[in-house]
Amino acid sequence: MLGHLMIVGKKCAADLGLKKGYRMVVNEGSDGGQSVYHVHLHVLGGRQMNWPPG
C-alpha cells in the first residue's frame, strides 16, 4: 500500500508542476503530528525546504 501511495504522490507532484523537487511525508501518531487517523500522504513542494523540517 505504501508503494502505491508513493507512486500516486509522484504523479500528484508532476500534475502540480513541482519540477524542482518535493517532499512526501507520512505523519504517525499524535507526537508525529498526525491529526487525521487514517493512512495518507502529504506532498509538499513549491518552495525551498530546510532541514530539519518544521
pLDDT tens for 14-52 read 999 999 999 998 888 988 888 888 888 999 999 888 887
Amino acid identity at 18: L
Instruction: Label residue 8 by pLDDT band (50, 70, 90).
Output: very high
Which residues belong to the active site?
A: 40
The predicted structure's pLDDT at residue 10: 97
pLDDT at 54: 62
pLDDT at 50: 83
Rounded to an integer, the average pLDDT of 1-23 is 95
Instruction: Please report which confidence band the pLDDT of residue 9 belongs to, taking 50, 70 and 90 as the band edges.
Output: very high
Report DSSP letters for 7-50, one per residue. Answer: HHHHHHHHHTT-TT-EEEE---SGGGT--S-S---EEEESS---
Domain borders along the chain are 1-45
* Homologous superfamily of 1-45: HIT-like (3.30.428.10)
